[in-house]
Amino acid sequence: MSDKVEDILFQAHNEGIWREVLDESQQLENKGKRFYSYGDKIEAAYNIVKTKKESYESKHLDKKRRSTKR
């Protein structure tokens, strides 16, 4: 495994999303997407999962903030 893959998976593990990153990388492969290297595929999967997580959190945190202000 390259350093890039290790670094990304280590970061994902620290954030608690490593399993989602691996699942997303498998889905990218099943969709027929081509990547130059395995590290590029893991990086793309990490970015997708991170974006989904941030979007989900911001959506739900906004609702939570609105409900606590009342």
pTM of the model: 0.77
- Nearest-angstrom CA–CA distance, 29 and 32: 5
- Nearest-angstrom CA–CA distance, 55 and 63: 13
- Nearest-angstrom CA–CA distance, 45 and 28: 8
Q: What is the pLDDT of residues 2-31, one digit of tens each?
A: 699 999 999 999 999 999 999 999 999 898
Q: What is the pLDDT at residue 32?
A: 86
What are phi and psi for residue 36, nearest 5 degrees? -65, -40
Q: What is the pLDDT at residue 66?
A: 61
- Nearest-angstrom CA–CA distance, 38 and 28: 11
- Nearest-angstrom CA–CA distance, 44 and 36: 11
Evaluate if residue 65 carries a pLDDT over 70: no
Q: What is the pLDDT of residues 39-52, one digit of tens each?
A: 999 999 999 999 99
